């Protein structure tokens, strides 16, 4: 069945696009993509496999068990850029359950992995850690199979029913990567070059990350794969330019009823509801989704379900800017990737501040990592609430807002570590006041508190994990050491590659 609305968009994009290939532009794109690529996954995969082997050896019940580690996310597509996290999933036989893994693995990791944080309150539980300065997210799934599954088995829909019920939402990350790879219409290295360039553009222009209501890496990977399928020229620089033109037209026509998908329509609905997993995307039931980008691993959910009104508007604005730059001759990649500075457009800012106090400096930092991750997962609620009263643009990076310091509580000296999140707000040419945003912040506070209660709650130690606290300031405020305004200025200067 033909996607009629999509066909109209493709016709518009084709009519306004120059498909002429430029050898110099292609060479420059490949060179740039290599410069900001990150390909250091092998060492951490080997280490995780070794630790899992030790886990199996230490457990009599797992003596005959198997385990395998898979790389997914951008690294699984060869498209990770500098600063990206590495996404791993450990699949184990059914004798290794979720409780055993999350209890034992962190103990085995002591001494060889840094900043280990166990997050079991999330919809997809994971272990976060650092290795040689690179952040890693490790997921886990228990599978009722005698041996580790190969690629063909992983892609079969009946594989989902072999995964233990609590782990089913975990396995679609690797299945998504494998689906994208087998649906590509050009070599993987050419696709990875385009995806790295698009991700780098989104990161530089600060419209990247679903925690801040922007498209995430999976969403961009699917969108680039669809652009590759539609582009009649298998040239990296042409596909890169076509990406911007295609999705400018797509968003101009408001294609919510005809989502971005790399699957033929008859395959999109090949499997219905799977217990333990969200239902497939439905045009009627999910009509409120602003940017439907269907995950090719069934059940086909919307990979961009968290994209909000502000996030989509800002993403479109940057798409339009990029399309205009790509249409110019000669194409300047440096102009395309020029870092965005939020201080150039916004005068008023909302700050969310959190901090941890502990007798041990290391424990304070470790606790802050867990607290930061949890609060960050709720920031989209603040963005949605702020959208009701003002235009809002998140600054999509946690900021060290105060220098590490010591505080005295009674007779005890505690080490304090803090982070902040900032959001530009404006209301046309009018000033914005603190009173305009307080109700939105109260809604966010409620969401943070609610997530620490009920089923599978976040373990919030309120004596140690402090905040969130609201700040509101203008760029015209006096800069003082450790003030929110100074912290934001410093963070922007660092991203722009210059000193304050």
Indicate the angle between helix axes 236-252 and 217-230, nearest 10 degrees: 100
Q: Which residues pair with 483 in a beta bridge?
A: none
Q: Which residues pair with 393 in a beta bridge?
A: 424
- What integer pLDDT is reported at residue 480 of this predicted model? 86
- What integer pLDDT is reported at residue 217 of this predicted model? 94
Contacts of 453 (CB under 8 A, 6+ apart): none
Distances (CA, A) of 459 to 107, 121, 122, 355, 465: 19, 8, 11, 16, 10
Q: First and final CA of the chain: distance in angstroms? A: 57
Q: What is the pLDDT along the chain (500 residues), one digit of tens a residue?
A: 346 677 888 888 888 788 888 888 889 999 988 888 876 788 889 999 999 988 888 777 666 689 999 999 999 999 988 888 899 999 999 888 888 899 999 988 888 888 888 887 777 888 999 888 889 999 999 999 999 999 999 999 899 999 999 889 899 999 999 999 999 989 999 999 999 999 999 999 999 999 999 999 999 999 999 999 999 998 999 999 999 999 999 998 876 778 999 998 666 555 667 888 888 998 889 989 999 999 999 889 999 999 999 999 999 999 999 999 998 878 889 999 999 999 999 999 999 999 999 999 989 998 998 899 899 999 999 999 999 999 999 999 999 998 899 999 888 999 999 999 999 999 988 899 999 999 999 999 999 999 998 777 888 999 999 999 999 999 998 888 889 999 999 999 999 884 33
Distances (CA, A) of 43 to 46, 48, 131, 148, 364: 5, 9, 9, 21, 29
Which burial class, exposed, middle or buried, applies to 7 when counting CB atoms under 10 A from its CB (0-12, 13-18, 19+)? exposed
- What integer pLDDT is reported at residue 289 of this predicted model? 92
- What integer pLDDT is reported at residue 499 of this predicted model? 36
Strand stretches in 291-450, DSSP E: 348-358, 391-399, 405-409, 412-426
- What integer pLDDT is reported at residue 360 of this predicted model? 93
Q: What is the pLDDT of residues 464-490, one digit of tens each?
A: 999 999 999 999 988 888 899 999 999
Q: Which residues pair with 130 in a beta bridge?
A: 114, 135
**Which is it for strands 134-143 and 86-93: parallel, antiparallel or unpaired?**
parallel
What's the CA gap between 49 and 41, in Å, rounded?
12
Domains (range + CATH), the chain? 4-35+185-336 (1.10.1410.10), 41-177 (3.30.460.10), 343-496 (3.30.70.590)
Q: What is the pLDDT of residues 38-66, one digit of tens each?
A: 767 888 899 999 999 888 887 776 666 89
């Amino acid at each position: 069945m033909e996607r009629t609305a999509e066909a109209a968009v493709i016709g518009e994009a084709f009519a306004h696009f120059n498909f002429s290939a430029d050898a110099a532009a292609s060479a420059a794109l490949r060179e740039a993509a290599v410069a900001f690529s990150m390909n250091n996954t092998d060492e951490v995969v080997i280490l995780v496999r070794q630790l899992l082997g030790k886990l199996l050896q230490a457990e009599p019940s797992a003596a005959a068990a198997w385990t395998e580690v898979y790389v997914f996310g951008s690294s699984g597509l060869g498209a990770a850029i500098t600063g990206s996290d590495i996404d791993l999933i450990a699949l184990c036989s059914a004798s290794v359950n979720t409780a055993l893994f999350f209890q034992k693995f962190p103990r085995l990791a002591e001494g060889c992995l840094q900043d280990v944080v166990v997050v079991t309150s999330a919809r997809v539980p994971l272990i976060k850690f650092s290795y040689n300065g690179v952040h890693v997210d490790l997921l886990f799934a228990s599978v009722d199979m005698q041996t580790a599954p190969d690629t063909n088995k992983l892609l079969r829909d009946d594989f989902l029913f072999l995964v233990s019920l609590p782990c089913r939402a975990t396995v679609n990350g690797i299945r998504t990567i494998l689906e994208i790879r087998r649906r590509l219409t050009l070599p993987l290295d050419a696709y990875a070059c385009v995806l790295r360039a698009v991700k780098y553009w989104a990161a530089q222009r600060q419209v990247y990350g679903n925690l801040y209501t922007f498209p995430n890496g999976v969403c961009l990977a699917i969108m680039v794969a669809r652009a590759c399928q539609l582009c009649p020229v298998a040239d990296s620089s042409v596909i890169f330019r076509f990406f911007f033109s295609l999705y400018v037209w797509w968003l101009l026509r408001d294609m919510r009823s005809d989502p971005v998908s790399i699957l033929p329509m008859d395959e999109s609905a090949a499997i219905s509801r799977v217990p333990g997993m969200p239902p497939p995307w439905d045009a009627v039931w999910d009509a409120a989704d602003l940017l439907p980008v269907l995950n090719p691993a069934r059940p086909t959910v919307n990979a961009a379900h968290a994209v909000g009104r502000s996030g989509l508007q800002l993403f479109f604005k940057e798409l339009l800017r990029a399309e205009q730059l790509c249409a110019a001759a000669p194409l300047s990649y440096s102009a395309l990737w020029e870092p965005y500075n939020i201080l150039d457009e916004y005068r008023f800012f909302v700050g969310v501040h959190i901090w941890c106090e502990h007798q041990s400096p290391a424990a304070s930092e470790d606790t802050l990592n867990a607290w930061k991750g949890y609060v960050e997962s709720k920031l989209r609620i603040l963005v949605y609430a702020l959208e009701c009263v003002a235009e809002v643009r998140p600054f999509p990076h946690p900021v060290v807002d105060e220098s590490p310091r010591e505080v005295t509580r009674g007779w005890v000296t505690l080490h304090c570590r803090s982070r902040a999140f900032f959001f530009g707000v404006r209301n046309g040419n009018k000033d914005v006041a603190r009173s305009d945003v307080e109700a939105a912040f109260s809604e966010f506070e409620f969401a943070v508190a609610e997530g620490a209660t009920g089923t599978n709650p976040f373990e919030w130690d309120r004596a140690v994990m402090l905040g969130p606290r609201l700040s509101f300031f203008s760029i015209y405020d006096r800069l003082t050491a450790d003030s929110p305004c100074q912290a934001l200025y410093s963070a922007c200067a660092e991203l722009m590659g210059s000193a304050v």
